[in-house]
């Protein structure tokens, strides 16, 4: 038995202090947030994995810090763009897998204060969020490509443990130096990319990495449960996702929406352009696709975290700002059908879905596969209805359910919205689906606790 196996065998996970529904109410009601991936990887403009994908040496990559000026970075402009888009919270990469910190870390000199920027960028960001009335989220990757012990933890066990120490101490820095933090968004819990392998194309991650418990289900390595409790002590009420070897307060679905889920908060994290990190002229989502993606998550009782990639110098491309403003314009008119609602009480389909609040149901028809939509299982009787953005509507209550039809020429190109008022407050059991994700499956947890 090697050191890593002994560590796993000896681990006894602590009981984690979980948040209440009331603690997470702001998140459920807010529905929409902005994520930003920004760091040294923005300079080559080839995505946030450029260091790994192009096998850049640690020294070669570190020299990018000499070009990291942050000359166009203005956290207030970021926050205003988020508010203009109708977003309620933000999440910024304080440190990605490359190990470069956007904050004044005393644990590692590889940070923005020691770069050409000479600034604590997380400090400016957190202040701007609060001044704009936005909830503050921090992305942090515990893994670090600069450590041989990350790739080969059995061979370089002491080095891997040094990486773990860095993680714990930097988390303390982030959670004690910048005031109230509302979300801690982990990414990169796995060791050795789930079992690193070497081939003719160089290093690569095994396609079955998620099935290897020694390198993926690694709460025993990070001391996940004890660390979450430390996080709770430093930041009471902070929400933590499911990417640190613990099941999380909320579930992340990366670049997909998936099925409906009402028992636990979740979000679909996706990109405005086709990359997390900045790539020049990367293909951007259309306005229709952006709004419909937000609606598809909301009718399934989830949030949308939309990533915007700043330029190498920290500015936001004008085309991104315009697209965000377009989403915001739509939410100004129809945001009451999204914010503060829950998904349901009708199961969504390829046509769209519903949100509800009190005795109101908001029907969102995104696609017309027939000339009508049937809503089955509505609790109560519809006593009135209103078309929010259609000039003509027909509604009938039948044994099959509520049948809605709108003439083709009156359908909205993005989302035809109809309000239904029922004869009393809506009560609905909701849906608990099977999650496709493999994150949050820490070893040592009881079977029924695993997501």
How does DSSP assign 143-208, residue by residue?
--TT-HHHH-TTTTHHHHHHHHHHHHHHHHHHHHSSS---EEEE----SGGGSEEEETTEEEE-TT
Both structure tokens of 355: 């949100």
Q: Is residue 235 within 8 Å of residue 227, measured between CB atoms?
A: no
Instruction: Decide: residue 321, CB within 10 A, 0-12 exposed, 13-18 middle, 19+ buried.
Output: middle
pTM: 0.95
Both structure tokens of 304: 């949308």
Q: Which domains does the chain have, with CATH numbers?
A: 3-337 (3.20.20.80), 345-422 (2.60.40)
Q: Which residue has the tokens 């796993």?
A: 8
Q: What is the pLDDT along the chain (451 residues), one digit of tens a residue?
A: 899 999 999 999 999 988 999 999 999 999 999 999 999 999 999 999 999 999 999 999 999 999 999 999 999 999 999 999 999 999 999 999 999 999 999 999 999 999 999 999 999 999 999 999 999 999 999 999 999 999 999 999 999 999 999 999 999 999 999 999 999 999 999 998 877 776 776 667 777 777 778 888 899 999 999 999 999 999 999 999 999 999 999 999 999 999 999 999 999 999 999 999 999 999 999 999 999 999 999 999 999 999 999 999 999 999 999 999 999 999 999 999 999 999 999 999 999 999 999 999 999 999 999 999 999 989 989 999 999 999 899 999 998 999 999 999 999 999 999 999 999 999 999 988 778 777 877 765 444 344 4
What are the backbone angles phi and psi of residue 120, rounded to the nearest 5°? -90, 95
Interatomic CA distance for residues 237 and 211, integer angstroms: 32
Q: Is residue 414 within 8 Å of residue 292, measured between CB atoms?
A: yes
Q: Cα torsion for 435, 440, 441, 442, to the nearest 10°?
A: -170
Interatomic CA distance for residues 306 and 255, integer angstroms: 10
DSSP for residue 68: -
Q: Is residue 372 within 8 Å of residue 395, measured between CB atoms?
A: no
**Is the omega angle on the peptide bond into residue 345 within 30 degrees of 0, that is, cis?**
yes
DSSP for residue 18: P
Q: Is residue 132 within 8 Å of residue 80, measured between CB atoms?
A: yes
What are the backbone angles phi and psi of residue 398, rounded to the nearest 5°? -120, 180
The whole-angstrom distance between residue 331's C-alpha and the CA centroid of its chain comes to 20
pLDDT given for residue 201 in this prediction = 67
Interatomic CA distance for residues 308 and 70, integer angstroms: 16
Interatomic CA distance for residues 77 and 141, integer angstroms: 25
How does DSSP assign 246-260, residue by residue?
S--SBEEEET---S-
Interatomic CA distance for residues 81 and 132, integer angstroms: 10
Q: Is residue 365 within 8 Å of residue 415, measured between CB atoms?
A: yes
């Amino acid at each position: 038995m090697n050191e890593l196996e002994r560590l796993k065998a000896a681990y006894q996970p602590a009981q984690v202090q979980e948040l209440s529904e009331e603690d997470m109410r702001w998140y459920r009601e807010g529905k929409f947030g902005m994520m930003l991936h920004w760091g040294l990887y923005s300079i080559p403009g080839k995505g946030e994995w450029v260091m790994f994908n192009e096998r850049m040496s640690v020294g070669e990559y570190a020299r990018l810090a000499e070009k990291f000026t942050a000359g166009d970075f203005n956290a207030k402009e970021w926050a205003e763009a988020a508010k203009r888009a109708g977003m309620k919270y933000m999440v910024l990469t304080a440190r990605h897998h490359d190990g470069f910190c956007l904050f004044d870390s005393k644990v590692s000199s590889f940070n923005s204060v020691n770069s050409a920027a000479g600034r604590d960028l997380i400090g400016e960001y957190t202040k701007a969020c609060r001044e704009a009335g936005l909830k503050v989220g921090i992305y942090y990757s515990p893994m670090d490509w600069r450590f041989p012990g990350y790739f080969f933890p059995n061979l370089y066990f002491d080095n891997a443990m040094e990486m773990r120490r860095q993680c714990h101490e930097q988390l303390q820095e982030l959670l004690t130096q910048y005031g109230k933090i509302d979300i801690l968004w982990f990414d990169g819990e796995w060791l050795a990319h789930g079992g690193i392998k070497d081939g003719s194309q160089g290093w690569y991650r095994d396609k079955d990495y998620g099935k290897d418990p020694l390198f993926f289900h690694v709460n025993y390595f990070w001391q996940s449960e004890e660390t979450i409790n430390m996080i709770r002590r430093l930041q009471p009420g902070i929400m933590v996702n499911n990417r640190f070897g613990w099941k999380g307060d909320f579930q992340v679905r990366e670049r997909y929406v998936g099925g409906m889920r009402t028992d636990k908060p979740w979000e679909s994290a996706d990109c405005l352009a086709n990359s997390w990190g900045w790539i020049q002229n990367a293909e951007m989502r259309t306005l229709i696709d952006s709004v419909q993606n937000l609606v598809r998550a909301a009718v399934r009782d989830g949030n949308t975290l939309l990533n915007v990639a700043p330029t190498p110098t920290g500015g936001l491309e004008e085309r991104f700002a315009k697209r965000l403003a377009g989403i915001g314009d739509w939410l100004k008119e129809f945001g009451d059908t999204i914010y503060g609602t829950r998904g349901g009480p009708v199961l969504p389909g390829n046509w769209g879905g519903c949100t509800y609040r009190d005795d109101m149901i908001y029907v969102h028809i995104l696609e017309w596969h027939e000339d009508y939509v049937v809503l089955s299982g509505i609790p109560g009787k519809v006593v009135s209805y209103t078309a929010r953005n259609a000039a003509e509507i027909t509604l009938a209550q039948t044994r099959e359910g509520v049948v809605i039809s709108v003439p083709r020429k009156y359908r909205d190109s993005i989302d035809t919205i109809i309000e239904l008022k029922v004869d009393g407050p809506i009560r609905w059991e909701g849906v608990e689906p099977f999650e496709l994700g493999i994150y949050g499956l820490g070893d040592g947890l009881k079977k029924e606790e695993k997501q």
